[in-house]
Structure 1
Amino acid sequence: MLVPKNNFILVWIWGQNIRDNGIHALSAALKTNSTLTTIIALKNSIESTGAQALSAVLKTNTTLTILNLMHTATGSDGARSPSEALVVNSTLTTLNLNTNLVGDDGVQALAETLKTNSTLPNMDFTQKYVGEDRAEALSAVLKINSTLTILICGARALSEALKINSTLTTLDVWGNNIEDDDAETLAEALRTNLNLTNLELGLNNIGFDGTQALSEARKTSR
């Protein structure tokens, strides 16, 4: 396991089968490192205890801006840990938990974090489906959060929040069983929201009516 020295600004660990013990070593090094800004640890076996170790560091580290734990087996416990850290962390700008089993509990924890965190503009915790209760929690957050510009979450009950939110520019709800009714509701929000410029709706069940509604909404909002 490569331990970052004080002149390192990036650690890239892609598919190296790094497990929790390796992440504990990395976390220990981060306690004294004052230059590292990016950790990319894609496709490793980082489970909840490894995520907890990294999160503990985030409570005191003041240089790390990007933490990418995509496809690392981090579950809901692993999502709750960085959520706790982000309540006090003011330097992280990107958190990527994509393709992990974050679960509804993890989504709830991340949503709660976004109520108070005012420095994180980019969060990705995509999973196939987020329950309606948790989607409503995210919607409530977007009504008050004025920092987030990119949200990739796989939730579909966000239309009401988009009528109020004035900072989100990218919303990715890829592969979330969105049908025509949901698309039409979203289209209504887009008629008044002029800030959202990127909307990803791939791999949903949107037919002609939903597609037409979204298309018309975009024309109207311009």
Structure 2
Amino acid sequence: MGLRHYLRHSTNSTLITLDLGYNSIRDNGAQVLSEALKTNSTLTALDLEYSLIKDNGARVLSVALTYNSTLNTLCFRSNSVADNGTHALSESLKTNSTLTTLDLGNNSIGDNRAQVLSEALKNNLTLTSLDLRGDLVTPSGAQALDEALKSNSILTTLILERNSIGDNGARVLSEATPVAVSEEATTAGAPACSLQKSEIGYP
């Protein structure tokens, strides 16, 4: 309740970055945060990495994205977004006009959900960076993303490292799009989300 009240009613305009990663927000906390985001007009970056948020939490946050007009960076890495959450996020991407950086890494997105996200990319006019590292994407998912990028000229960075897109998937993406695609594996572990940058680059 305290966070919701602060985001709704604070008169200072200095809170532009909020890092709630590793705080066990869960779906109930996501509901509170979603209500606050609908009216907050200062926050530009939100980190919810490893917050134990599942489908319902992702769904209500997606609804908030259709109202919020300031958030440009959302880190949702290492949560548990399943079918409903992915569909909700995708629908919000079709209408949201401020989000430029979205990190969905380590959410086990898989090919079917990558297809859903791909459909959203065809209609999105603002997202410049999408992180799908460690999301179980195979050549089939890479093909779906490639089809979306053929009609999307806004996205400039697509991170697919620690997936299994293989040579065929990498070739399809690299030959057909000007997007900077990272598929490089790392043994040092994924870096934490950076809310100081407007674009997630190579690790």
| TM-score, L = length of structure 1 | 0.73
Where do 5+ consecutive residues of structure 2 fail to align? 187-203
Residue 38 (structure 2) pairs with residue 56 (structure 1):
no
Map 1:150-189; keep pairs closer than 5 Å: 150-153=129-132, 154=135, 155=137, 156=142, 157-189=144-176
Query: What does residue 25 of structure 1 align with?
Result: 2
The corresponding residue for 2:110 is 131
CA deviation vs aligned residue, 1:12-70 (integer Å, no higher than 9, x gap): xxxxxxxxxxxx32122222113222110121111000011001111111111111111
Mapped to 2, the partners of 1:67 and 1:138 lie a distance apart of: 20
Matched residue type, 2:170: A
SS of the residue 1:31 aligns to:
helix
Q: How do residues 53-202 of structure 1 correspond to structure 2 at under 5 angstroms? A: 53-127=32-106, 129-153=108-132, 154=135, 155=137, 156=142, 157-190=144-177, 194=178, 196=179, 198-202=180-184
What RMSD, in angstroms, separates the aligned Cα atoms of the two structures? 1.7
Q: How far did 1:99 drift?
A: 1.0
Higher relative contact order (CA 8 A, sep 6+): 2
Q: Distance in 2 between matches of 1:163 and 1:71?
A: 32
- Check 1:161–1:175 CA distance in 2 against 1; reply closer, same or farther (3 A cut): same
- Amino acid of the residue matched to residue 114 of structure 1? L
Amino acid at match of 2:183: L
The answer on whether the counterparts of 1:104 and 1:131 sit within 8 Å (CA) in structure 2 is: no
Residue 128 of structure 1: CA displacement? Answer: 5.1
Describe the superposition over 1:170-218 as per-residue Cα deviations: whole angstroms up to 9, x where unpaired. 101122221222223223323xxx3x2x3221339xxxxxxxxxxxxxx
Q: Is the 8 A contact 2:47 2:74 kept in 1?
A: yes
Of the structure 1 ranges 165-174 and 122-131, higher mean CA displacement relative to structure 2 is found in: 122-131
Distance 1:45 1:92 in 2: 21
Structure 1: any 5+ residue segments left out of the alignment? Answer: 1-23, 205-222
Does the aligned pair in 2 maintain the 1:129–1:176 contact within 8 Å?
Answer: no
Misfit runs of 4+, over 2 Å: 153-157
Worse-superposed segment, 119-128 or 181-190: 181-190
1:46 has 2:28 as partner? no
SS of alignment partner, residue 158 of structure 1: helix
Amino acid corresponding to residue 86 of structure 1 in structure 2: L
Question: How big is the shift at 1:161?
Answer: 1.2
TM-score by length of 2: 0.80
| Amino-acid identity (%) | 45
CA-to-aligned-CA distance 1:120-147 (integer Å, 9 cap, x gap): 1111111253232221121111122111
Structure 1 residue matching 2:63: 3-state secondary structure? helix
**Higher CA-based Rg:** 1
Question: d(CA) in 2 for partners of 1:202 and 1:102?
Answer: 23
Kept in 2, the 8 Å contact 1:128–1:176? The answer is no
Aligned mates of 2:111, 2:97 — CA distance in 1: 25
Q: Which amino acid aligns with 2:43?
A: L
Kept in 2, the 8 Å contact 1:152–1:172? The answer is yes
Instruction: Determine helix, strand or coil for the equivalent of 2:122.
Output: helix
Aligned residues: 176
Question: Are residues 1:203 and 2:185 paired?
Answer: yes
